[in-house]
Amino acid sequence: MWELYFEKSLILLILGWHIQFSETTYPWLEQVARQEDLTLGCENLSSTYRQMPNVSQLSHILVDHVHKLLYCYVPKVACTNWKRVMMVLTGQSNVTSLVSIPSNLAHANSSTVRLSDLSKEEAHKILREYTLFLIARHPFERLLSAYRNKFEDNITSSKYFQARYGKHIIKKYRPKASDDDLNSGANVSFPEFITFLLNEGVETNEHWTPIFNLCFPCALNYTFIGHYETMAQDAKTILDMVDAPPLVFPVTRAGRTRDRLRDYFQQLSIFNIEHLYKKYFLDFKLFRYGLEDLLGYELA
């Protein structure tokens, strides 16, 4: 354990040195702790969890050959802005202000090369040589953010979710649904959404699929683990690491999702919260998140 700690510290110190350690105030000890929790958490899992995925499963990893940078995008974790960054880094866009890239363009499959587009040999070579990072977020906050964005917001992109999932959820999980609700699929409640996830699985859409299943953190060697909570600082550190041109990472207005977490989760039974926790267990454990804030205690 101490040996491992020492080894990681040393690596990160060297890394810190490389990016002009003296100039940066990045809290490397926090990064060491994140890496250590990930390594120890993964070592504890059976080898199937650490198995190298097929290249076709690596469709969430975006490739920047210019800066030798790989980003595993996780929906609902500032991924639109990071996709914009990747477009600028790879020369797909020349804008000076990142937010001027329309979000539908940033999300287009063609905006950036994906690791799954490459041959197995090339993908493995790149994984060994490039800087690989992801940004994690509290699993329940991410889930709530997805629910609010897709089922509460009255925006064009939520229409797809209401038609694709909303109608189904209301039909299946609301005993006496009105015809209006059945036809629009628009007002799925949070408990209904959670019942759907618990019954039909959390991998039904990338917006609520656990990070573990999108990014394979125990099979791939992540160079850097960012957190949503420290997004601006982490973005700067990552961009410095690969000598990216000066880019101002858009600071998204701190959402109110965290404050709302309690309000929404209070609508669920403790049984369902525990059940849901088990579904996102790896994301909680591997990325240092807990339920203390929400419940006042941790689930074992």
- Asked whether 214 and 206 are in contact (CB, 8 A), the reply is yes
Q: Which is nearer to ligand NAG, 80 or 92 (CB)?
A: 92
Query: According to CB under 6 A, which one of 9, 24, 158, 189 is a site residue for ligand NAG?
Result: 189
What is the C-alpha to C-alpha distance for residues 226 and 233, in angstroms, rounded to an integer? Answer: 9
x/- string (CB under 6 A) for ligand NAG, residues 239-278?
----------------------------------------
- Asked whether 211 and 196 are in contact (CB, 8 A), the reply is no
Assess 75 for contact with ligand NAG (CB under 6 A): no
Tokens of 158: 């939520």
Map residue 140 onto helix, strand or coil: helix
x/- string (CB under 6 A) for ligand NAG, residues 90-129?
--xxx--------------x-----------------xx-
Q: Which is nearer to ligand NAG, 115 or 135 (CB)?
A: 115
Q: Hunting for tokens 């999300």 — which residue is that?
A: 107
Of 82, 79, 73, give the one whose Cα is nearest residue 134: 73
Query: According to CB under 6 A, which one of 27, 44, 51, 270 is a site residue for ligand NAG?
Result: 44
Burial zone of 6 (CB within 10 Å; 0-12 exposed, 13-18 middle, 19+ buried):
exposed
Stretch that binds ligand NAG, among 25-33, 62-70, 74-82, 89-97 (CB under 6 A): 89-97
Alpha helices in 72-151 (DSSP H): 79-89, 103-107, 120-129, 139-147
Assess 41 for contact with ligand NAG (CB under 6 A): yes
Query: According to CB under 6 A, which one of 187, 209, 230, 233 is a site residue for ligand NAG?
Result: 187
| 61 secondary structure, DSSP code | E
Binding site for ligand NAG (CB under 6 A): 40-41, 44, 54, 57, 59, 92-94, 109, 127-128, 154, 180-181, 187, 189, 220-221
